[in-house]
Chains A and B, each alone.
Chain A
């Protein structure tokens, strides 16, 4: 049968596509690949539609046995790729014969590699998506030894030979659009964010990128009644350390959001290892536009 047998799942390997939409009002997170451009690139390399489901690894790689001949591509965090022990291409299509062992090694730098087989992974969809959601447990469970991952028939489209693959950043710079709760902080808090130096905290995961650095000072005490949260929202819990919401973020939250990181910047956030220097680059507030 067509499929991939999990020989070594690595520390955390999940199935991801572009995630769920339209169900946030039921409390369902969006999920989906954290480094979306890398997922799209891997799919392009094997001739898949951009949103086909693929594997997202975390630092430690993955090992799979091909139950049928398959073409696959690995993108995202650069990592050694081997087929039956022989070096194969990272960032390009790799033809794997039936029975061969495919190994993606530990990421050389960055955090998350994406392995896309031609035809995509065809696990059942939940709300139109095959993504694992680690906040709510929707979608397929993280890979375990012995899992067989179904692979669909390869499409008629040829894969691209080469796609641009940005390197993970040595320093993470996240733009920040102030609001909706910037007024809960001291007047200088947003401006101060531009000067403050943070580091990516080890507690970061698919739900949020957590930070270490200077605490932001609130001018309002008390709890904010729960309100809807967006991808990239920078929530500030009572310890004052900004938390950047990633794909598995909760749909509502009770801590004030000082600003929102535009989605294109989050791919780099997905690849920033703990300890990576981080700073925020505030954009101008758009709330003036809201006046009639």
Chain B
């Protein structure tokens, strides 16, 4: 079924997948659905993704489908949402290779990556892993042919049209551009994900060396919270003995 360029697909017994024509409209739809959540039948989860928004745990699916049918969504998301600055040391293992793919020097590659304002389109892969859009399509790069078995926490990476920052050490196949000391994920913080969907992001090139974490610049509540967390680090992770996150999709 199509309404304003939206295709509605039933998922199991109580979920609906709303498919759009691309990431901009999917992000706009997510924003719209959050704003209208009170008018819609009860929904347990609203999960944005690359081209879709999943509505899971829908109390009254026929009623929801009727309401979605009349929904008009602008192709672009509104330019609101808190802004987080991510101080980044651009010394990633793949920076030279990415610069070569772009046909520029590494200095120019850093400028290209740190110039745009990004937006968290959605989270996935691991808690707090945001998929950031904002880099021009001409700079898309493929994933690495063989994923690394461990990518360190704070790694700033690139794959396809997305930039991401690994919230904790995990396997990963994205191209590593640099790293940040910002804590991306903290269950004691609200919201726990620094880069939650809708957040605007800027990468600030920072000189640094390993062990000298950059300080986040306070631009909004999330960044301030991040700074406070950094100054008062939470207790060591009691779950450190768990196996690293496993992948169900190429990442």
| Residues of A in contact with B (beta carbons under 8 Å apart) | 21-22, 24-28, 126-127, 134-142, 144, 177, 179-181, 207-208, 223, 225-230, 232-233, 235, 243, 249-255, 257, 260-263, 285-287, 289-292
Contacts and interface: CB of A to CB of B under 8 A. Distances in A.
A216 to B, nearest CB: 17
Q: What band does the interface of chain B fall in when counting residues whose beta carbon is under 8 Å from A?
A: 35 or more
Given A207-B246, A290-B8, A228 B49 contact: yes
B9 A287 contact: yes
A257 B11 contact: yes
Contacts of A223: 250
A286 B49 contact: no
A225 B56 contact: no
Contacts, number: 158
B127 interface: yes
A180 B50 contact: no
Given A127-B192, A226-B122, 8 more contacts: A25-B123, A27-B124, A225-B50, A226-B124, A228-B17, A230-B56, A253-B248, A289-B62
Contacts of A290: 1, 8-10, 65
B69 to A, nearest CB: 5
Interface stretch (B101-109, B145-153, B217-225, B236-244): B236-244
A254 B131 CA distance: 14
Question: Ordered nearest first, which 5 A-B pairs have the shortest CB separation?
Answer: A228-B54, A260-B12, A252-B124, A225-B50, A228-B47
Contacts of B65: 289-290
B45 interface: yes
Interface of B: 1, 8-13, 15, 17, 44-54, 56-57, 62, 65-66, 69, 122-129, 131, 168, 187, 191-193, 196-197, 238-239, 241-246, 248-250
B250 to A, nearest CB: 7
B42 to A, nearest CB: 11
A249 B12 CA distance: 15
Contacts of A27: 123-129, 193
Contacts of B47: 24-25, 228, 251-252
Contacts of B15: 230, 260
Contacts of A177: 10, 12-13
A48 to B, nearest CB: 23
A136 B131 CA distance: 17
A232 to B, nearest CB: 6
B50 A263 contact: no
Contacts of A232: 12
Contacts of B131: 226
A177 B52 CA distance: 20
A235 B128 CA distance: 23
27 contacts: A22-B44, A25-B46, A25-B47, A26-B123, A26-B191, A27-B129, A135-B245, A136-B127, A136-B245, A138-B127, A141-B238, A177-B13, A179-B10, A225-B49, A226-B122, A227-B17, A228-B45, A230-B56, A249-B248, A251-B123, A252-B49, A254-B249, A263-B13, A287-B1, A289-B10, A290-B1, A292-B1
Contacts of B69: 292
A137 B46 CA distance: 22
Contacts of B12: 177, 230, 232-233, 260-262
A279 B27 CA distance: 38
B128 to A, nearest CB: 6
A262 B65 CA distance: 20
Contacts of A250: 124-125, 248-249
Nearest to A180: B9
B248 A207 contact: yes
B21 to A, nearest CB: 12
Given A27-B123, A230-B15, A291 B128 contact: no
